Amino acid sequence: MKTILSASVKGGPLSLNTVEGKPLDQHPAICTWCEKPIIQRTPWHRYCGNSCRRKGWRAGISDKHALAWQRSLALQPSPQLSWLLGYFFGDGDLRRSEYAVRISSVSRPLAARFATSVQTISPDGWHPSIRQQKDGRWICSVHFKALWLYLKGGKEHSFAAYMPVINAYPSGFLQGFFDAEGSISFRETDRRNILQKCVELINGDDGLVLVTIKCLNTLGFSHVHYVRPPRDFYHRKWNKIIHQRIPLHHIALIREVDIRRFANVIGGFTEPAKQGKLMDLIGIMDKRAALRRPA
C-alpha cells in the first residue's frame, strides 16, 4: 500500500502532515499500549516509545495492526454475545499485562465456539488463537483491548452493563454458563426402580447466581437452589482434599419437564460428552414413559 508523506524537520522532531492521503488529525494521537499522547508519529507506528512497542510485540500486536487493535466492538444484543458472556463469566480470565481475554476448557469445541463468538462481535472478524496445553486443556485467547474493557465489569462482580444483552437472549446466557459450570448426573436405583437425575451448576459469585436465577424464572424453569457453606471435603476424581473457602451456590434442574426443556429451549450443552449424556438421559426417560402408558 502506497503511503504519501509530507515531512518537515524544521522546529523540532519530524512531523507528518498526511498519512495514507488523510490529514494527520484524523488518526489517533495516543499510544496503543499506554494510551499516553504521542509527540512524534510515523505511519502505522502507534507507540510512544520502544518500551511500549516491545510490549505490544510480545502481546502479538504488530505496528501494522495497531489501529485494528483499538477498534470498537459491535455490541448489539445477539445470541452469540449472550453465550459468550455466560461462558466467560464461568471459565474466563483477564490479563492486564497484554489486554488478553482467555478461556480454558477441557473440550476443543468449547474453545472453538468461544473463538467464533469473538469473531462475530468484532469488526472484520478478529481471529483468536487456540492451543492445547500439556495437561490436555484447550486455551483460547485474544488480545483485544475493547473486549477486555467490556468484560472487566463482570470480573468485578458488576453485571448491570450486560443485562440488556442477557435479558434479550436469556437462553444463550444460560447455555454458556451451563457449558462453563454445569454438569449432568443420573442413575437408576434397583430397589425402588427410581430414576435419579439432575442437571446442575455450581458457582460462588452471588451476583452471577442471581442473574442465572432471573433467566431461569424468565424462561419458566423450576429449579432447586441451595448454598453449601465453606468446608473441607475429599475429591474422589482428583484424589485430594479440597479447601472450600467461600459459600457455593447449587442450582439444579430435577424435574423431567425442565430437563427436556433444557435440551429443547436452551439447546443443551456444547461439549459433546455432556450433550451425549443428556441425550442418553432423555432416551431413558422416554423408555420409562412408554412403559407407564396403558396398553
**Which residue's entry shows cell 474422589?**
236
Can you tell me the distance from the alpha carbon of 151 to that of 118, in angstroms, rounded to the nearest whole number?
12
The residues near 165 (Cβ < 8 Å, ≥ 6 apart) are 75, 77, 78, 81, 82, 85, 173
Looking only at the bridges linking them, the beta strands covering 240-244 and 231-235 are: antiparallel
Instruction: Evaluate if pTM is beyond 0.75.
Output: no
Q: 131 by DSSP, 3-state: which?
A: strand
Q: Where in the chain is the domain with CATH 3.10.28.10?
A: 79-158, 176-289
* Superfamily classification of domain 79-158: Homing endonucleases (3.10.28.10)
CATH fold of 176-289 reads Endonuclease I-creI (3.10.28)
**Which residue's entry shows cell 472487566?**
152
Which of 112, 117, 93 minimizes the C-alpha distance to 103?
93
pLDDT per residue as tens, the chain (295 positions): 333 333 333 333 333 333 344 444 444 456 655 666 665 544 445 556 666 655 665 554 544 444 444 455 657 888 999 999 999 998 888 887 677 888 988 889 999 999 998 888 876 656 788 989 888 889 998 887 778 888 887 666 678 888 999 999 999 999 999 999 999 988 877 666 778 889 999 988 888 999 999 999 999 999 999 998 877 777 666 677 777 778 889 999 999 999 999 999 999 999 999 999 999 999 988 888 888 776 5
